[in-house]
Amino acid sequence: MNNKQWMSHALTANLSSTGLVIALAVTLAGCAVQSPPITPIEAPQNMAAQKAAQQAVLATAPQIPTLKRKIALGRISNETSYGQSLLRDNSGDPLGKQVTDLMSKALTSSGAYLVFERPDIGRLQAEGRLTDTRLNLVGVDALIIGSLTEFGRKTVGATGFVSASKKQVAFAKVDIRVVEVSTGHVFFATSGAGEASTETASTFGFGSQASYDGTLNDTAIRQAVSEAVSRLSQEMSTRPWQTSILKLDGNQLFLGGGRLQGIKPGMQFSVHTLGEQVKSAQTGTMVTLPGRMVASVRVDSLFGDNELNEGSAATVTSGSLVGFQASQLTVRFDGAK
């Protein structure tokens, strides 16, 4: 072989080896190289200006008080197959109790309700017997009953040539219904769903690793409860808020509810007669006919130091309450003024 032929053969072999290396590099790059992180682009109106505008809107919005409603938690149970054997203890339904506690906390934290204990009423009664204290239960406007109807976990993942990912997902669904205590009528039903997940990934065996995460269960249930309470609050806010008259004294009257329920001096309320109750031939239940407005009152001052003993002193600004007894009247909120 002459020099020219030998150089041509060497050049061909070198190009073949180079092509093989490039092809292998491209293949590995397609498997191992991750997409670069996306750089967030700020809107033309910067974040500080947006927050300032939001605060300005909130400052100019009318401050409507939160007139709390008396509500009690009844039975909240676990109706799923999860925890029906291994996690069940001698005192009953641990997962159902967890949902009940989370529901109670969410209702109380919302600031829209006076929440009264019902699931553990037996323990309160037992404590009262030990201390020779009579348990004075307070009537409520509505009772919440419900259950955890869906709950479970799953693990999903994907495996590539040199990469792998795993995602743990927990899902929960809570169904509740709200019952009118005086009639047993279910006037509202809703549900809330929650999902929580955690994801791990690795390339060439390097990357994040994670074992079973039990906190995902709690997070999913908490989100489901929060969504259910949010929908409940939207419904309850559409129903008229009213309170009773504690005492009548000429043109002055004392109302139930004070500062902790959002009542402020200067607020206006309307006073209505209690409508007559008649039995409906269609449903077989008692129906309260609409009362009539007899007076408007203005709150002058507040008294009391907690949600249960608070009250408001008000004065009649129009109309008259002469000839009426406090038990014949109800007070409704007309709006902040």
Extents of the domains making up the chain: 69-148+174-191+215-237, 242-335
Six-digit token pair at 329? 């009247």
**Residue (of 182, 267, 179, 169) closest to 219 by Cα position:** 169
CB 246 within 8 A of CB 311: yes
Helix or strand (DSSP H, E) at 166: strand 163-180
Residue type, 298: R
Topology adopted by domain 242-335:
Thrombin, subunit H (2.40.10)
Topology adopted by domain 69-148+174-191+215-237:
Rossmann fold (3.40.50)
Tens digit of pLDDT for each residue in 151-186?
888 776 655 544 556 778 889 999 999 988 777 788
SS3 119: coil
Q: Per-residue confidence at 62, pLDDT binned at 50, 70, 90? A: very low
Six-digit token pair at 77? 């149970």
Q: Per-residue confidence at 15, pLDDT binned at 50, 70, 90? A: very low
Six-digit token pair at 159? 């495996």
> Rounded CA gap, 245 and 329, in Å?
7
Q: Per-residue confidence at 6, pLDDT binned at 50, 70, 90? A: very low
**Residue (of 304, 293, 286, 301) closest to 334 by Cα position:** 293
The pLDDT, as a whole number, for residue 225 is 92
Q: Are strands 163-180 and 142-159 parallel, antiparallel or unpaired?
A: antiparallel
Residue 89 DSSP class: B
In the block, residue with structure tokens 């997940």 = 197
